[in-house]
Amino acid sequence: MVRLPILLVGLLLAAQVQARTSMQDWSRDLEMGQKALAARDFAAAYPAYAAHAGTNPLAQFTLGLFEREGWGRKTDPVAACIWFEKAAQKQVPAAEQLFGDCLAHGIGRAVDGPAAVQWYRKAGASGIAYALCQAAELYISGKIVARDVAQGLALCTAAAQADSPPAMLKLADYYREGIAVPQNLRLARYWYDQAAQRHNHESQFRLGLMLSEGEGEGGDANLAQARFWLEHAAMEGYAPAYLPTAILYANAAPDPYTGALTPDELAKIYMWNRAARARTPNSVQLAEIDRIEKLVLTVMPAQWQPDLDRRVADHLATYPQ
């Protein structure tokens, strides 16, 4: 399957390469290939890049993506790593990061933890901040480099402070799980909040769960804020947030004048519960979904269902799995 974010990386890296190169505009040579790649015409794109692979590091990097992602061909991780190494040696930032992956996993060569760390650090210095968290993971796990939790946390913190939402998420996960590093729920909640504000959906989901349970920041639950973040993630298609959002609406305080949930709350319970049903294979969750649906249908007017079902279908079509 074609991964659009990776496609965009391949198309936009020209700016990064050009900024580091004074002798040639590498992207100009690749305009035909870039247009074909944007159109997913891999049969035309590949030879357009290959024609410049001898001297153009952006072409080398993109050919590595062809091999890694299987665009119009079988995946070949070893060939991908050969191209990434060539481009990394020419200081293409994303190639530096992906070549670090090759060394960390021993793809087509022996595992080399110290070299992987070196390339991750280079990528981080080149502007790919999350690569520092990848180096951090090697230090924290201690499997292929000497274990150094303090250095690992410092690296991933530096990446998070460089405004990388994935790094913020990774750092928050470390502090929440408290397995490889000392647990610190206050810091976990802080970094989830920082990433959530930058539209990282998993962080919005994690922050919502922490707020619903009162984890971190004094231990008091904040259900209104929990629902706010969970629904933000749900509205942008993050499926794990569907059921918790429905549950928080179901547990909302009744309207003080009617003693019942508001029409909007009933509709939200029904819609997010239905969305969860469409995306949930888990039998335990499906049983909970059945229970919630039976309860809401006893009080929600039946004539609402066609319109609400249409809204759910539209949402799921917008955010397919």
Q: Between 93-105 and 77-89, two packed helices, what is the crossing angle to 10 degrees?
A: 130
Q: Looking at residues 240-258, what average pLDDT do you find?
A: 94
| pLDDT for residue 218 | 64
Residue that is written with structure tokens 């629902």 in the block: 227
Q: For residue 215, what pLDDT band results from cuts at 50, 70 and 90?
A: confident
Q: Looking at residues 6-11, what average pLDDT do you find?
A: 46
Position 255 pLDDT exceeds 90: no
Q: Looking at residues 262-285, what average pLDDT do you find?
A: 96
| Domain with 104 in it | 1-128
In terms of Cβ atoms closer than 10 Å to its own Cβ (0-12, 13-18, 19+), residue 146 is exposed
Q: Looking at residues 18-35, what average pLDDT do you find?
A: 72
What is d(CA 192, CA 213) in angstroms, rounded to the nearest whole number? 15
Q: What is the pLDDT of residues 129-166, one digit of tens each?
A: 999 999 999 999 999 999 999 999 999 999 999 999 99
Q: With respect to residue 192, please indicate whether it lies within any of the assigned structural domains.
A: no
- Do residues 1 and 123 both lie within one domain? yes
Q: What is the pLDDT of residues 94-109, one digit of tens each?
A: 999 999 999 999 999 9
* Average pLDDT over all residues of the chain: 92
| pLDDT for residue 201 | 98
| pLDDT for residue 24 | 54
CB count in 10 Å sphere of residue 106:
14
Q: Domain holding 40: CATH number?
A: 1.25.40.10
| pLDDT for residue 217 | 72
In terms of Cβ atoms closer than 10 Å to its own Cβ (0-12, 13-18, 19+), residue 280 is middle
Q: What is the pLDDT of residues 217-237, one digit of tens each?
A: 766 789 999 999 999 999 999
Q: For residue 300, what pLDDT band results from cuts at 50, 70 and 90?
A: very high
Task: Let me know: does 311 contact 278? Beta carbons within 8 Å.
Answer: no
Q: Looking at residues 80-88, what average pLDDT do you find?
A: 98
Q: With respect to residue 207, please indicate whether it lies within any of the assigned structural domains.
A: no
Residue that is written with structure tokens 């019942």 in the block: 260
| pLDDT for residue 101 | 98
- Do residues 118 and 241 both lie within one domain? no
Q: With respect to residue 155, please indicate whether it lies within any of the assigned structural domains.
A: no
Closest CA to 273 of 238, 241, 299, 301: 241
Position 247 pLDDT exceeds 60: yes
Position 211 pLDDT exceeds 80: yes
- Report the percentage of the chain scoring pLDDT > 90: 85
Q: Between 57-69 and 77-89, two packed helices, what is the crossing angle to 10 degrees?
A: 160
Position 12 pLDDT exceeds 50: no
**Among 97, 128, 159, residue at a domain's last position:** 128
| pLDDT for residue 216 | 78
**Among 98, 128, 158, residue at a domain's last position:** 128
> For residues 87-98, b (16+ Cβ closer than 10 Å) or e, as one string?
bbebebbbbbbb
Q: With respect to residue 250, please indicate whether it lies within any of the assigned structural domains.
A: yes
Residue that is written with structure tokens 């580091």 in the block: 20
Q: What is the pLDDT of residues 47-63, one digit of tens each?
A: 999 999 999 999 999 99
Task: Let me know: does 131 contact 120? Beta carbons within 8 Å.
Answer: yes
Ramachandran angles phi, psi of 180, nearest 5°: -85, -20
In terms of Cβ atoms closer than 10 Å to its own Cβ (0-12, 13-18, 19+), residue 120 is buried
In terms of Cβ atoms closer than 10 Å to its own Cβ (0-12, 13-18, 19+), residue 104 is buried
Tell me which of 290 and 254 has the higher pLDDT: 290
Q: With respect to residue 302, please indicate whether it lies within any of the assigned structural domains.
A: yes
Q: With respect to residue 320, please indicate whether it lies within any of the assigned structural domains.
A: yes
Closest CA to 247 of 223, 264, 225: 223
Position 241 pLDDT exceeds 70: yes
The token pair at 119 is: 């390339």
Q: With respect to residue 230, please indicate whether it lies within any of the assigned structural domains.
A: no
**Among 94, 109, 128, residue at a domain's last position:** 128
Structural domains counted in the chain: 2
| pLDDT for residue 126 | 94
- Do residues 241 and 119 both lie within one domain? no
| pLDDT for residue 27 | 86
Q: With respect to residue 201, please indicate whether it lies within any of the assigned structural domains.
A: no
Position 8 pLDDT exceeds 60: no
Q: Between 201-213 and 223-235, two packed helices, what is the crossing angle to 10 degrees?
A: 160
Q: Between 31-38 and 4-19, two packed helices, what is the crossing angle to 10 degrees?
A: 160
- The predicted model scores a pTM of 0.88
| pLDDT for residue 26 | 83
Q: For residue 4, what pLDDT band results from cuts at 50, 70 and 90?
A: very low
